[in-house]
Structure 1
Amino acid sequence: MRWLPAFYVAGVLVLEPITPVQWPVSFLLIALPVVAAYAHRPVGVAAIAVFAVVFEGVLAGTPCCAGRMVGYLWDRHYVGAYICTALVGVLGTIVAVHRTRRERTLATVRSVAETAQRVLLRPVPHRLGQISVEALYLSAAAEARIGGDLYEAVPTAHGVRLLIGDVRGKGLLAVETAATMLGAFREAAYDEPDLAGVAHRVERSMSRRAAQLPGSEVGERFVTAVFAEVPDHEPVVRIVNCGHPPPLRLGRGGVTELCPTDAALPINLGVLIEDDYHVDVEPFRPGDQLLLYTDGVTETRDSTGTFYPLAERIRPWVTLPPRELLDHLHQDLLAYSDGSLDDDVAVLAAYRLPRESRGQAVPHDLEGERDSSSM
């Protein structure tokens, strides 16, 4: 865009010598300041407006193959063009001032949003005891930095506890709900001795917060979520599913969907029933990987409207370490949707390190270590 004024002038220069003398193509330079206002600062636009007026005079007063003579320089039509160009230059300068102010405001808003995202969705540690953890977050809106999808991973005395969630709705309401949810989980994960207790604690916190809101908004503050716990000394993973897409286990059995035996209602709707949260216990051995994700993944559509078949598409990558797995998933989602996501996407990958790797740094390539545990 910054070179657009130069291309515009070049076009005028190409047209000028090949048009009849009664066609004053140089009048096209009247629009040059507006063209410059798209990308240049106010001072630059004003300078380009002055250049346009001078250049119009040069074209009007220079003899050429079209037969123009010096007498055209002060012809009333050309004088009118000079005046119009100057006025448009003033207008273009005002537009450029307005545009630069909006750009500064947008940059400030983006900075605040990025800071809020780092606080809300802070980077998960790459290594939590015996678990290697990686996260992926994609926004459906090109200018967005934060939304209602959330994730967290914390090391506790009871093992590594994981959370993936999806807030109903969009906008600031969803962001505030996500912040409340994450704050409640980060507090409860350290204190509660069992995973069902964590879910209960988060439910109570969300209910208290929702009770402070206007009546119509209470029912909109619910969150589908999966709570997971990987104990340090047991080859299992404990899961509480609250109306969320089931996690995937990648390992010896290939890709396994860990469907809940008794799924609970989404968080903040549990007050509607008096029932305990059911904890499912699934095998989770060294070399296995747990994939938690939001429905933005499985509801991604291709050009024919077909949903993204996550279990099928991810099967060739079960031997990859978490970061590479999520990078492949990222690229595949964009390719499948032709770069147009319909919803935000959050994914959390937790890999249980083989025993020989637990005292070492996380390896860059785990394929050799996972040969015995892959499909």
Structure 2
Amino acid sequence: MRAPNAGRAAERSRSPRRLQLLPVALLVGGTVLDYNTPPRFSAEAFYTAAPMAAAALLSLRATILAGIAACAADFALLTHFGLMGGPGGRSELAAVATISAIAVVVNRLMYYSDVRLQSARRIALAVQDAVLPRPPAALGPVRIAVRYESAVKDAQIGGDLYGVQDTPYGVRCLVGDVRGKGMEAVKAVDVALGVFREAADDEPTLVRIAARLDRALLREAKRRPGPERTEGFVTCVLAEIPPSGDELRLVNRGHPPPLLLRGGAVRSMEPSEPALPLGLTELGAVEERTDAVPFPPGTTLLLYTDGLSEARDRSDTFYDPVARLTGRDLPSPDALLDAVLADVRRHTGGRITDDLVLLALARSTGDAAEGGGADSG
């Protein structure tokens, strides 16, 4: 159980410190103005604004103290000018006292709103951990890093997905993007990841994993209402690093091509044969092909969703990860993803308009010392 003022304390810690001084500034400014102006002028607006500002920025105790200070300052100045005995003075003081009481109520309402918001955030984090668990930092010689950025403020999960699994066939991973938003997209994410986790251990090829994903998503789409029944689909890339570690295998189903980075050089891994996204195979036959390329030590695979490649600056120029990463030799997957996120934020001016997943897998240069694949689970 949280302490009674834990929510407000958390909010205060995120508020600019100068802004927290606003109630004091209003009280001091109002008192000085009231004292140095003729009796017909009143600083009542300052006295009422101070406790309301405290209600939004400070704790319950500070809000009560601001209300008492506002009433005391108004009473002192009314007495000084001999106005306390008149109806105008009494009504002014009553107004300040009433607003101060309302400020206390507002403070409590904001506190309980904060508690509910924090609870919702904890639930969202629990859902994210269950649906999109963070992969281990390494599986044998393969080092791993992942980043998830939601376009919706305070949301923790959306329509982008990723999965990494150590299997008898090597390290296998999935990065995908569900068409659409909201709970229907989250349901599709859950279905796709559940099938991937089972199929990655069972199926001998990436093509067969893709086929199982396709069938499951087609079944799931039939349960959707309206246009979602026929228009829902998932773009994805499946990748496999076999136990030998010297090769990378890829299957791309309509997704942005992954990148291979080594020594400052960047190579875009376009599929040899384009294929329809998952869930659209009823529109035509899919002739899938697994592309295989060398994956020597010191090479990093970067998979991402279109939240990266379609990020735009204020002049509507798309972010080009190949051009932006060429010439940069970053020491680890975590350093790579941190650099990419910082760079795309600079490019967009901090505006994230679509969910974004980044997944990096790097083959360690010390394979012989590290031995074979680890058991993740």
Give me the TM-score of the superposition, normalised by structure 2: 0.87
Unpaired segments of 5 or more residues in structure 2? 1-18, 373-377
Shift in CA distance, 6/343, structure 1 to aligned 2, threshold 3 Å: same
- 1:317 correspondence with 2:328: yes
Alignment of 1:176-325 (within 5 A): 176-233=187-244, 235-251=246-262, 254-325=265-336
| 1:102 aligned partner | 113
| 2:37 aligned partner | 19
Query: What's the CA shift for 1:318?
Result: 3.3
SS of the aligned residue for 2:57 comes to coil
How many Å separate the matches in 2 of 1:181 and 1:199? 10
Which range is displaced more, 139-148 or 338-347?
A: 139-148
SS of the aligned residue for 2:187 comes to helix
How many Å separate the matches in 2 of 1:229 and 1:94? 58
| 1:3 aligned partner | 21
Deviations 1:244-299 (A, max 9, x none): 00011112692111101112211111233233422111222222111101111111
| 1:91 aligned partner | 102
Which range is displaced more, 289-298 or 86-95?
A: 86-95
| 1:132 aligned partner | 143
Q: Among all aligned residue pairs of Structure 1 and Structure 2, give the percentage whose two residues are the same amino acid.
A: 35
Checking the alignment, whether the CA contact within 8 Å between 1:31 and 1:85 is kept in structure 2 is no
- 1:146 correspondence with 2:157: yes
> Which amino acid counterpart does residue 255 of structure 1 have in structure 2?
V
The number of equivalent residue pairs is 354
Alignment of 1:23-38 (within 5 A): 23-26=41-44, 28-38=46-56
Query: What's the CA shift for 1:323?
Result: 1.2
How many Å separate the matches in 2 of 1:252 and 1:61? 78
Unpaired segments of 5 or more residues in structure 1? 63-67, 362-375
| 1:371 aligned partner | none
| 1:116 aligned partner | 127
Query: What's the CA shift for 1:48?
Result: 3.0
Which range is displaced more, 310-319 or 269-278?
A: 269-278
Query: What's the CA shift for 1:173?
Result: 2.0
Query: What's the CA shift for 1:166?
Result: 0.9
Shift in CA distance, 45/356, structure 1 to aligned 2, threshold 3 Å: closer
Deviations 1:117-167 (A, max 9, x none): 111221111111221111111222332222111111111111110111111
- 1:55 correspondence with 2:66: no
Aligned alpha-carbon RMSD (Å): 2.1
How many Å separate the matches in 2 of 1:40 and 1:252? 52
SS of the aligned residue for 1:324 comes to helix
Checking the alignment, whether the CA contact within 8 Å between 1:165 and 1:226 is kept in structure 2 is yes
- 1:359 correspondence with 2:370: yes
